[in-house]
Amino acid sequence: MSDSYSTTDETTDSEAANSTDTGTEARRPGETLDETTPSIQEIPERETVIEATDLTVHYGDVEALKPVNVRLPEQEVTAIIGPSGCGKSTFLRCINRMNDMVDAARVGGELRYRGTNVYGDEVDPVALRRRIGMVFQKPNPFPKSIYDNVAYGLKIQGYDGDIDARVEESLRNAALWDEVKNQLDSSGLDLSGGQQQRLCIARAIAPDPEVILMDEPASALDPVATAKVEDLIDELAEEYTVIIVTHNMQQAARISDKTAVFLTGGKLVEFGDTNRIFENPENQRVEDYITGKFG
Amino acid sequence: MTGSSSSSDDARTDGDELARPEGGDHVRTDGGEHANPFATVGDDIERKQRIGRVFVAVCAASTLVGIVALVVLLADVLLEAWGWVTLEFLTYPPSRFIENYYPGGRGAGIFPALVGSILLIALTAVFTMVLGVGAAIYLEEYAAESRLKGFIEANISNLAGVPSIVYGLLGLAVFVRFAGFGESLLAGALTLTLLILPIVIVSSQEALRAVPDSQRHAAYGVGATDWEVVRDVVLPSALPGIMTGTILSLSRAIGETAPLIMVGAATSMFRAPIEDVSGIPVPDLFGPFAAMPMQIFDWARLPEGDFQHVAAAGIVVLLSILLLMNATAILIRNKYETR
């Protein structure tokens, strides 16, 4: 128990140091404590990309997501944390309508992407997914060559530029180019797990989406590969809006700017700056969860 | 106690010359310092191990029965056919006179039935690939889970068990009479298609189901449409499985006799079902045809003794084609599995 306390403290400290370096979000742990009214719905300094209004999901008769109201800012890393079965993946999959593939799933309320309700009649989920890329829990490259894996999204989206150049750029951005540049024709499945996941990230960013959803992208990876993916997420946030589900609180503290905490029952309990959530959560149960008392 | 157990440990690790001389029985009765720590649980395990060995023996014997029967059958047929499978046998039409089959005779054989069977199976392959794979894709990839879907799938599985003669009757009623194809190659191929369609659908569905959902999600995630997901991701992954199932079904169809009797295939034809259209040989879809199983049956029932050798030669040709098809299925599977 005391163990988890100390690790949490350590990581939040280093996170605070990191954000001082990056500037905009800088806030010493002490300052958050002094704030008089840390409102739950902090007005994001950046423009909102995703806005959920009373968003609910039912699987059959089971309520997987209680009404969620949240606004996710652009070009930041938002972490979604919470115990197993709390609806965090369900929420993530609402954003690019991957829940459509679950026959029993029903979505209520609104989820706006740049002001348009993605569950509106006029929205084609295929078009939506071209703006919102996704990286999954288990690396799932196609059983095709590395090149074809990255080029697939470009080809089906009718990219009319230089596909070769775009593939190279994506692999570079995914920090994989130097490792695979001489074996672009070999199968993506021949790579190690960590490389496969970076290949999947390259595949997701190749068609240049605006938002990248990540569903526990490092949970199947070893620590070294995890560290590489985390570094990568940091860099991706300069260009893309990243929304990442993780069950690893240290990871959330390390890499995210904003954190959303879901707790059992599919309820979004708290959302705000990562530093504040980890240093001074408003909700007692969030504090218990973050300090490792349950979950 | 602790001291003694540690000394026994030492004895064991020190080497065999110390541990071995004190035999198992001695150690157990002694009860003192070298007691077998597993003594009380040993008997039960011993009994279970014996049951396990009996089980393995029964399984191995079952395997052996099948293999021995097959080998005996094959050896018998091969011995009967020895010397009768000649180039003439493969390239000449059948004859009523046994002398024509003798080596150095005028030449007689299985040619029309061989060509008939190959055309029949080729046509059946085209029909089943289109209908069977189409149905499997619809059921697996598109149809929503519902009672109707469950009902349809249960019925398809049941259809796989319907005797082939029933399909023959259906083919006679629908294709020969109602559709007016007559006793033709086309009617035969369509009947065989119906016969193996349930098996092809079920095996194709299994192949499609074996494609992990993570692959589909990956494609959807980069903005693929349903059709693109099926075309680019699901089908390429499932194709080896689909091909294997289809080829194995076709090798069942090529040996079928009953449905062909019903749709009126000739037992013996002197001409292959091939037309000459301005110099190019074209399959005569609407003409009469013979197939190998029926030709073999025709030979086997002839009274003259040497015709048994001719029938055996026919069986060897049929089995060779079967073997060829199965080998193709295995090759396809291996080629794509190792990728």
Whole-number average pLDDT of chain A: 83
Min Cα–Cα distance to chain B from A210, Å: 12
Q: Is the pLDDT of residue A204 over 90?
A: yes
**Which parts of chain B have pLDDT scores under 50?**
1-28
Span of A28-32, A72-76, A179-183, B192-196 with lowest mean pLDDT: A28-32
What is the pLDDT at residue A45? 65
B339 and A187 within 8 Å at the Cβ level: the answer is yes
Provide the 10 A C-beta neighbour count for residue B162: 13
Percentage of chain A with pLDDT > 90? Answer: 42
Residues B153, B175 within the same domain? yes
Contacts of residue A263, Cβ cutoff 8 Å, sequence gap at least 6: A82, A83, A86, A269, A285, A286, A289
Min Cα–Cα distance to chain A from B309, Å: 51
Min Cα–Cα distance to chain A from B134, Å: 21
- In-domain check, residue A66: yes
Q: What is the 3-state secondary structure (H, E, C) of chain A?
A: CHHHHHHHHHHHHHHHHHHHHHCCCCCCHHHHHHCCCCCCCCCCCCCEEEEEEEEEEEECCEEEEEEEEEEEECCCEEEEECCCCCCHHHHHHHHCCHHHHCCCEEEEEEEEECCEECCCCCCCHHHHHHHEEEECCCCCCCCCEHHHHHHHHHHHCCCCCCHHHHHHHHHHHCCCHHHHCCCCCCEHHHCCHHHHHHHHHHHHHCCCCCEEEEECCCCCCCHHHHHHHHHHHHHHCCCCEEEEECCCHHHHHHHCCEEEEEECCCEEEEEEEHHHHHHCCCCHHHHHHHCCCCC
Residues B131, B278 within the same domain? yes
Residues B167, B262 within the same domain? yes
Written as six digits, the tokens of B168 are 């023959």
Residues B55, B109 within the same domain? no
Chain B, nearest residue to A142 by Cα: B215
Min Cα–Cα distance to chain B from A129, Å: 5
The mean per-residue pLDDT over the stretch A50-56 comes to 91
Residues B101, B143 within the same domain? yes
Looking at the 3D structure of chain A, how many domains does it have?
1
What is the pLDDT at residue B6? 44
Q: How far is CA B158 from CA A23, A261, B152, B161, in A?
A: 69, 51, 10, 5
B232 and A96 within 8 Å at the Cβ level: the answer is no
A117 strand-pairing partners: A112
- In-domain check, residue A295: no
Cβ atoms A193, A223 nearer than 8 A: no
pLDDT bin (cut points 50, 70, 90) of residue A20 is very low
What is the pLDDT at residue B55? 96
Residue where a domain stops, chosen among B27, B60, B81: B81
Q: How far apart are CA B241 and CA B133, in angstroms?
A: 11
Residues B209, B260 within the same domain? yes
Q: Which of residues 18-77 of A touch B (CB under 8 A)?
A: none
In order, the DSSP letters of B76-103 are HHHHHHTTT--HHHHHS---S-GGGGST
Question: Between helices B235-254 and B111-128, what is the axis angle to 10°?
Answer: 150
- In-domain check, residue B237: yes
Backbone angles phi, psi at B334, to 5 degrees: -65, -40
What is the pLDDT at residue A41? 53
Q: How far is CA B206 from CA A152, B61, B242, B248, B279, in A?
A: 26, 31, 8, 14, 45
- In-domain check, residue B42: no
Nearest to B223 among A103, A130, A200 (CB): A130
Q: How far apart are CA A294 and CA A290, in angstroms?
A: 8
Could you tell me the sign of the dihedral formed by the alpha carbons of A129, A133, A138, A140, in that order?
Answer: positive
Secondary structure class of B185 (helix, strand, coil): helix
What is the pLDDT at residue B302? 85
- The CA-based dihedral angle spanning residues A173, A176, A178, A184, taken in that order and rounded to the nearest 10 degrees: -110
Angle at B171 between CA B169 and CA B174, to 5 degrees: 105
What is the pLDDT at residue B184? 87
Q: Is the pLDDT of residue A12 over 70?
A: no
Contacts of residue B258, Cβ cutoff 8 Å, sequence gap at least 6: B163, B164, B165, B168
Could you tell me the sign of the dihedral formed by the alpha carbons of A155, A161, A166, A167, in that order?
Answer: positive
What is the pLDDT at residue B32? 57
ipTM over 0.90: no
Looking at the 3D structure of chain B, how many domains does it have?
3
* Better pLDDT: A21 or B213: B213
Residues B108, B33 within the same domain? no
Q: Which helix (H) or strand (E) holds B119?
A: helix B111-128
Q: How far apart are CA A266 and CA A197, in angstroms?
A: 28
Min Cα–Cα distance to chain A from B281, Å: 41
B214 and A156 within 8 Å at the Cβ level: the answer is no
Q: How far apart are CA A283 and CA A286, in angstroms?
A: 5
Taking the Cβ of residue A185 and every Cβ of chain B, the question of whether any pair is shorter than 8 Å is answered with no
Cβ atoms A133, A209 nearer than 8 A: yes
Q: How far apart are CA A285 and CA A86, in angstroms?
A: 13
A126 and B339 within 8 Å at the Cβ level: the answer is no
The mean per-residue pLDDT over the stretch A242-258 comes to 91
What is the pLDDT at residue A241? 93
Whole-number average pLDDT of chain B: 84
Residues B96, B154 within the same domain? yes
What is the pLDDT at residue A171? 93
Residues B74, B170 within the same domain? no
What is the pLDDT at residue B17? 47
Give the structural domain span for A244: 2-290
- In-domain check, residue B131: yes
Taking the Cβ of residue A159 and every Cβ of chain B, the question of whether any pair is shorter than 8 Å is answered with no
The mean per-residue pLDDT over the stretch A15-44 comes to 43
Chain B, nearest residue to A153 by Cα: B222
What is the pLDDT at residue B93? 85
- Give the amino acid at A124: D
* Better pLDDT: A45 or A182: A182
Residues B105, B239 within the same domain? yes
* Better pLDDT: A261 or A19: A261
Residues B161, B16 within the same domain? no
Q: How far apart are CA B320 and CA B318, in angstroms?
A: 5
Q: What is the 3-state secondary structure (H, E, C) of B65-78?
A: HHHHHHHHHHHHHH
Nearest to A142 among B220, B225, B233 (CB): B233
Residue B232: list chain A partners with CB under 8 A.
152, 156
B222 and A96 within 8 Å at the Cβ level: the answer is no
Taking the Cβ of residue B237 and every Cβ of chain A, the question of whether any pair is shorter than 8 Å is answered with yes
Q: How far apart are CA A175 and CA A228, in angstroms?
A: 8
B218 and A157 within 8 Å at the Cβ level: the answer is no
Residue A143: list chain B partners with CB under 8 A.
236-237, 339
What is the pLDDT at residue A29? 44
- In-domain check, residue A127: yes
Contacts of residue B301, Cβ cutoff 8 Å, sequence gap at least 6: none
**CATH number of domain containing B111:** 1.10.3720.10
Angle at B220 between CA B214 and CA B226, to 5 degrees: 110
Residues B152, B297 within the same domain? yes
The position carrying tokens 């299994």 is B206
* Better pLDDT: A247 or A150: A150
**CATH number of domain containing A135:** 3.40.50.300
Give the structural domain span for B26: 1-37
- In-domain check, residue B43: no
- In-domain check, residue A158: yes
